A = this chain, B = another copy of it.
């Protein structure tokens, strides 16, 4: 994850996302963000006159765009794209990170949702937008893989939800088991939804 290039403003947004996904929003201090970004403390109030709320919101938005970009990249890398294969790639990103760098970090959007939904309306909105931003390319991809149009959005939500939940469990257990289990079980089921009649109900 490169992020030390660019201007100090972008570095601070990136650092905020990193710290938030590790410690949560409330436990992440403005001074910590500046230090982590190697940026002067005085720049915070200059670039983010809206204070912590603005910084957090921008970090969440950044995370949403990042997740959407990753979906497109996974699609481009898959030789023969299937729903299960795409989901496996999404999961693998996390198992790789956890095996290489430990279980210290989760998803910043999830952290912001847990931490700010009840208190900060604008952050809640930013989190909802981030999920939508992530959901959109996923649903589109599912449609292109043969999933019936009326189910693409719901299945995309299922994929994101299952991934987020598995991340939670994996962090708590310090074990990628939850991630691999979810990928192994849900993957084939997702593949069954492509170019097939929807399950009777």
Decide yes or no whether A155 CB sits under 8 A from chain B: yes
Nearest-neighbor residue (CB-CB) of A124 within chain B: B172
Nearest-neighbor residue (CB-CB) of A184 within chain B: B154
A162 to chain B, nearest CB (A): 5
Report chain B residues within 8 Å CB of A193.
Answer: 185
A135 to chain B, nearest CB (A): 9
| Interface 0/1 of A90-130, CB less than 8 Å to B | 00000000000001111001110111011100001001101
Choose, from A33-41, A50-58, A68-76, A163-171, the stretch at the interface: A163-171
CA distance A162 to B201 in the complex (A): 20
- Within the complex, which residue of B157, B165, B189 is in contact with A161, where a contact is CB–CB below 8 Å? B165
Copies of this chain, tallied across the complex: 2
Nearest-neighbor residue (CB-CB) of A165 within chain B: B161
By the criterion CB–CB under 8 Å, are B114 and A168 in contact? yes
Decide yes or no whether A192 CB sits under 8 A from chain B: yes
Q: Which 10 A-B pairs have the closest CB atoms?
A: A161-B165, A154-B181, A164-B165, A188-B199, A165-B165, A26-B26, A127-B172, A189-B189, A24-B115, A128-B172
Which residues of A are in contact with B by a Cβ distance under 8 Å? 22-27, 103-106, 109-111, 113-115, 117-119, 124, 127-128, 130-132, 151, 153-155, 157-158, 160-166, 168-169, 171-174, 177-178, 181-182, 184-186, 188-189, 192-193, 199-201
A-B pairs with beta carbons under 8 Å apart, 16 shown: A23-B118, A24-B26, A26-B26, A27-B119, A103-B117, A111-B115, A113-B168, A114-B114, A117-B172, A124-B174, A131-B169, A154-B185, A158-B185, A161-B169, A165-B165, A165-B168
